[in-house]
Structure 1
Amino acid sequence: MAEQDITSEDPRLVEYFGESFTTVRAFHDALVDQGELRGLIGPREVPRLWSRHILNSASVVPFLPEEGTIVDLGSGAGLPGIVIAAMRPRAQVLLVEPMERRCTWLSEVADALGLGNVEVKRGRAEEFHDAFEADAVTARAVAALDKLGRWAFPLLKRGGELVVLKGRSAQDEIDAATKVLRKYGATDAQVHEAPTIDGLDTTSVVTATRTR
């Protein structure tokens, strides 16, 4: 299926997102309206927001807790953080983003969508290493796993899980990140195939638990 073939009227979206569809659709519409204008997405991405970005972001959600604190590093346009907040309404979702204009967007869109479980944190991940302990940390297209692990694991409580969206080289990234994974006792790192709707390729999700 061509990525641009998915529109907001596709019945598979309602089936997949369930009760969160109205909110996720409103987020999609906000990105269509403002995303390119505000430098959040490129012009070629608008027709394929559902397939390449929103559904891709949603594929991480089944691996995240229903409640507790979830941190999204490098939230950018809100992918996956805003999607997660819509689909995990009982969780507190912290969006960590260093760029002021992106933080402004994230705050505005969270307010517009009525996502009271979102809190925007401006800064780099390292600046929050002693600020809170999360149940899960996620990220999408931020950095290779060895670097990402150094940023993310200190934010996790013991027993918390790193849950990140990755591409075809996910296992290679795990192999390259052995040292940082071992440092935090994350010996259970593995790649999961995460499907969304029929007709789209599955996404790779890497999980690893901090045990020390």
Structure 2
Amino acid sequence: MADTNPTTDAVLEAASRLGRPVEPEQGALLAAYLDQLVKWNRKMNLVGKSDWRSVFDTLVVDSLFLADFLAGMNLPDRPLCLDFGAGAGLPGIPLRVLWQQGDYWLVEVREKRATFMKSVLGRLRLPATNVFAGRAEDALERLAQAGHQATADLILSRAFMPWQGLLDFIRPMLRNEPDRSGAAVILSNDPPPAESAIPTGWQLADVASYPAAGGERYFWSFRVE
């Protein structure tokens, strides 16, 4: 039963085993998210045929270490954050259990996945965490119409599009002021690129590696120059 019905204690143990312990309250929220993910996954195929432990070890693990990575970045006190291609809420929803700085928008064009995330967030009640159901290129304009700032402080991507194309795509969306430039964070299975491969106008900033799924994964952050 533990494989199909995550408990707080089981999640706490799984996080400790991965080397990134969480608090009991966080473990309860992660367990609630995983419980909903497993139930919806039987009907919608959100993450393939996976039990919650596999999802935790291969996908939620990214969120655990990403929380620490973002906490170490130089971000505004209340950044506007966009998570492109949020899918089933990974890494964003587990991330927001652990890292709750600023306003966070999970951007997803596929209606069923957006519906799932809205349902989960209605249960978890994570602060300042919302779903934008629509195209990534429309997100900021629509948010600005609703009273949010017109450019983002942080954009995250796991596999929304190849990273070089992503940087070109998001550059107009990021804040670019003399004393305050936006950042892009990419989750990758590969080490950061050589400087010669980075598009003009960008600078590779913070980089970190972490253990995941028996190997090593990476976070790369880029800043607008």
Q: Is the TM value for this pair above 0.5?
A: yes
Q: Corresponding residue for 2:13?
A: 11
Tell me the number of residue pairs that the alignment of Structure 1 and Structure 2 aligns: 198
Which of residues 96, 100, 106 is equivalent to 2:111? 100
Q: Which has the higher contact order (CA 8 A, sep 6+)?
A: 1
Q: Corresponding residue for 2:202?
A: 186
Does the alignment pair 1:161 with 2:161? Answer: no
Deviation at 1:89, TM superposition (A): 2.5
8 Å contact kept, 2:34–2:52: no
Deviation at 1:87, TM superposition (A): 1.5
CA distance in 1, matches of 2:205, 2:101: 26
- Secondary structure (helix, strand or coil) at the match of 1:192 reads strand
- Secondary structure (helix, strand or coil) at the match of 2:156 reads strand
Query: Cα deviations across residues 3-55 of structure 1 (Å, max 9, x unaligned)?
Result: x9xx7625352662224222122111211222232221111464411110111
Does the alignment pair 1:73 with 2:84? Answer: yes
Which of residues 118, 134, 139 is equivalent to 2:129? 118
The alpha-carbon distance between structure 1 residues 156 and 195, as it changes in their structure 2 partners (threshold 3 A), is farther
Query: Cα deviations across residues 51-98 of structure 1 (Å, max 9, x unaligned)?
Result: 101112332222325742221000000001111221122421101111
CA distance in 2, matches of 1:44, 1:175: 39
Q: Corresponding residue for 2:170?
A: 152
Unaligned runs of 5+ in 1: none
In structure 2, what residue type is equivalent to 1:17? Answer: V
CA distance in 1, matches of 2:217, 2:60: 12
Identity across aligned pairs (percent)?
A: 25
The alpha-carbon distance between structure 1 residues 81 and 36, as it changes in their structure 2 partners (threshold 3 A), is same
- Which protein is bigger by CA-based radius of gyration? 2
8 Å contact kept, 2:111–2:133: yes
> After the TM superposition, which parts of structure 1 deviate over 4 Å for at least 4 consecutive aligned residues?
none
* Superposition TM-score, scaled by structure 2 size: 0.76
Q: Corresponding residue for 2:58?
A: 52
- Secondary structure (helix, strand or coil) at the match of 1:121 reads strand
Q: Corresponding residue for 2:49?
A: 43
Which of residues 182, 206, 210 is equivalent to 2:220? 206
* Superposition TM-score, scaled by structure 1 size: 0.80
